[in-house]
Amino acid sequence: MFSALARPAGAALRRSFSTSAQKNAKVAVLGASGGIGQPLALLLKNSPLVSRLTLYDIAHTPGVAADLSHIETRATLPDCLKGCDVVVIPAGVPRKPGMTRDDLFNTNASIVATLTAACAQHCPEAMICIISNPVNSTIPIATEVFKKHGAYNPNKIFGVTTLDIVRANTFIAELKGLDPARVNVPVIGGHAGKTIIPLISQCTPKVDLPQDQLTAVTGRIQEAGTEVVKAKAGAGSATLSMAYAGARFVFSLVDAMNGKEGVVECSFVKSQEADCGYFSTPLLLGKKGIEKNLGIGKISPFEEKMIAEAIPELKASIKKGEEFVKNMK
């Protein structure tokens, strides 16, 4: 079921959610009636950067669309993927206590393969932003599906890892008594457990932490998703913070597509920056997606060790995604 909404005039979420509105974007949310999809659609509906918002899900979409359509902003709802500039995919099942992101693979792999195939056919030029876990496998799935349809562009497929950055900024700000809106911690690697590598040595403003605090806050950033899963006690995973982070990434992308310069976000993408085929690093975004991969930069021995430990897990997750598409009927 799909529905469509139109463009909003609304508040920016954070300093980085700016509103350079030379061109209004057509955005689709696939998985719009879920725990992430609903608040994400609300944030997108409330942005002056979005001129058309289309919603798709397998159930309850007309209700979500009817609800959003009453908001006094000007985003509208037509054919879901046709003419889209940006497609955001939060579709899939959430984690429950005791589950890893990888436990979601069997269900979410098929969902992502089906939805990205539709994107490759109906909006091959769109920016594809994937939230569905396990991101370390769903991005390789999207890549292989786009290749199968002859529509692959490595500069336009993004694994949304922004929540890791948002969490790192928040936790470091709490530790040091700083304003989280002024803290920026690049987070590289992947989007699961020990593949999440916060580069606290590159934090702006510069922060000094003793090794025990550094180890503890790094572990908290890596396991923050599990912290929420446990706190929700079976009622789902991070949805509101993920919607916020997803909206932040989309707004940054649309700003860059509109010609704003110097827009940088970390994202899990096809990469040659580490010894595996995909890796998250800071990316300079531009009118056509990734303008430049800014790479890993100068890091500490502690961070070097984390990268070395993450690579085998990343390689296995990537291979799992690629094999899934190879073996698809």
Beta-strand runs (E) in 131-277: 157-159, 187-189, 196-198, 264-270
Q: Three-class SS of residue 133?
A: coil
13/248 Cα distance (integer angstroms)? 8
DSSP conformation class of 16 = T
Per the CB < 8 A criterion, the answer to whether 186 and 221 are in contact is: no
220 known member of a binding site: no
The structure tokens listed for 50 are 């979005």
95 known member of a binding site: yes
111 known member of a binding site: no
Chain centroid offset of residue 51 CA: 21
155 known member of a binding site: no
Contacts of 13 (CB under 8 A, 6+ apart): 43, 244, 247, 248, 251
108 known member of a binding site: yes
139/141 Cα distance (integer angstroms)? 5
106 known member of a binding site: no
327/122 Cα distance (integer angstroms)? 24
Residues assigned a catalytic role:
191
255/285 Cα distance (integer angstroms)? 9
Q: How many CB atoms lie within 10 A of CB 23?
A: 13
Measuring CA to CA, which residue among 95, 132, 96 is closest to residue 114?
Answer: 132
β-sheet bridge partners, residue 265: 283
Give the relative orientation of helices 211-222 and 224-232 as an angle to the nearest 10 degrees: 60
179 known member of a binding site: no
132 known member of a binding site: yes
The structure tokens listed for 234 are 């079976």
92 known member of a binding site: no
158/267 Cα distance (integer angstroms)? 6
101 known member of a binding site: yes
167 known member of a binding site: yes
* Binding residue numbers: 31-37, 57, 95, 101, 108, 131-133, 167, 242
* Binding residue numbers for substrate: 95, 101, 133, 167
* Binding residue numbers for NAD(+): 31-37, 57, 108, 131-133, 242
